[in-house]
Amino acid sequence: MKRLLPLLCTFVFLHTSAQTDSTWIRRVANEILTNGQAYNNLRVLTKTIGGRLAGSPQMYQAEDWGFKALQTAGSDNTWKQACMVPHWVRGGTDQAQALTAEGKRKLDVVALGNSIGTGKQGLKSEVLMVQSFEELDAKKDQVAGKIVFFNYPFNNTMVRTFEAYGDASKYRGQGPSRAAKYGAVGVIVRSMSHSTDNHPHTGATRYDSLYNKIPAVAIGLQDANWLAERIASSPVQVSMKTLGTFLPDVEGHNVIGELKGTEFPNEIITVGGHLDSWDNCEGAHDDGAGCVQTIEILRAFKAIGYQPKRTIRFVLFANEENGLRGGAKYAEEAKAKEEAEAQAQAIADAAAVEVAEGAAMEGEALAEGEAAEEPASNEIVMQEGESLADVKERMKREQAKAKKPTIPPELLNNANSYEDKVGVVRMVVQNDQSRVASVIRSKNAGPLCVTLDLFFRDQESYERAAQSDALNLNAIAALYGLLRTQIRRFDMPEILAIKLSMPRTVCAGHAGDGDLYGAQQHGPLLSLRV
């Protein structure tokens, strides 16, 4: 009976913890379902403010709205984090017209974000159609003086979220410069969409400084198909007129609210969405929904009286669409704060060493004179014949012996509740002095995929991990029992992070899924050594 009692107590604790978690989740769900403000907030953001490209008057309106919305939701602390953002303006309505043997036809186009304009005089030239960069390279001798039409359709066999989009978007991002390399004077890009309508889809392009900047537009899918058919039978000319240009950078802001943690206030959990959108749309999906959901989480937590152990930060990021300046600024200041804290710790450690050296020197003096009193267990004694360097080395050896044994990550397999898993992970991290990653986490990327994020302490740790065979695609595939082609890795040296993307073995929420939110998929990474 004495042996059963601890087990019984543990079971009761775990059961209670699970009940507590489910109770809180139900309370959050009920609060949002009955009193939710997300749709009302989205209506104001999209219908009242509208398109809010970085640098526009609507951007500042959205920042003020977001600040007040976070305050109204109950933020413990609300502020704006300044960052310089690009200021690209469209300058008017984008126009294009096809000239064929059949006559003239207006084309539904929109200038790519960050693209330069044609000027008021416009641009007119014959169109060269290609479906890939490989075909462009093969036809490089035909490109000079022409408008290149990248007619690359979405691959409809790619069913995972953003897979087809990512496959096709390289022509929007790189197409203008790749065409300019061979002397093109303009670019038309098939819109990034599965749709069958004729609404052109904008997005940012990125000019290569090695080549001339040339005007670039996206074309609606119906017009793209029509243009392709005409080019296949006879030469086609297109005239286009766009007025896009860059103005000087302006100051924008990340809008931030906080729910202070009760036990670990300096440990930050970040929730967020980007506040900006393109100028010619309301930005309801990209990313108004993300912003209002972020605010709604804060409001619901406050409404039910939830107090997190760690600080939760709710961020409405600036300038995702055509610069990523807001996210970069947030990461920069977070890193600076981390480095400042590390420096303070280093100063404290140096002070401790100084005290230890002083104690060692005192022991040396006593060795030359009268015998010292029996030392306390925590005092450092200079032994006869020892130098200061010898004492330091002996201190290191003794400290190494005193370290706690490593806690195996396999303990995660026996942790049944979320709190137990968090406790095990914390113990593993605290006891592993060789760790290079500061944060390892996982989350769903839609119901079929999961992403894993690894953040590193410093540049040296990041480079060590990035170059390690332990994190190559073959190793990760073997670790998770997947094919190499199913793993995607994204290296982000600017924020000292590596992101992995892979399919879930079971669709989120389906029978057999034991991790609805994909938050426990990082466990196997804890055993890696780089």
Active-site residue list: 320
Task: Quote the tokens at residue 96.
Answer: 């294009």
How far is CA 413 from its chain centroid? 28
Q: At what angle do helices 4-35 and 418-431 cross, to 10 degrees?
A: 110
Q: Which residues contact 334 (CB under 8 A, 6 or more apart)?
A: 268
Residue among 407, 406, 522, 527 at smallest CA distance from 455: 522
Tell me which residue of 480, 530, 475 sits closest to 505, measured CA to CA.
Answer: 480
Two tokens, residue 289:
């929904």
Beta bridge partners of 219: 109, 190
Judge contact between 256 and 311, C-beta under 8 A.
Answer: no
The pair of structure tokens assigned to 76 is: 């413990």
**How far is it, in rounded angstroms, from Cα 330 to Cα 309?**
22
- The type of residue at 4 is L
Residue 275 · residue 255 · CB < 8 Å:
yes
Stated as kind and residue range, the H or E segment containing 172 is helix 170-180
CA-closest candidate to residue 321, choices 272, 291, 293, 283: 283
Bridge partner residues of 125 (DSSP): 238
Please state, in angstroms and as integers, the Cα–Cα distance from residue 443 to each residue in 262, 440, 449, 500, 519, following that order: 24, 11, 9, 11, 5
Q: What are 102's two structure tokens?
A: 């059949």
* Separation between Cα atoms, residue 189 and residue 219, nearest integer Å: 6
Q: Would you say 192 and 178 are in contact if contact means Cβ atoms under 8 Å apart?
A: no
CA 93 to chain centre: 33
Q: Which residues contact 320 (CB under 8 A, 6 or more apart)?
A: 274, 276, 287, 326, 327
271 DSSP β-pair partners: 314
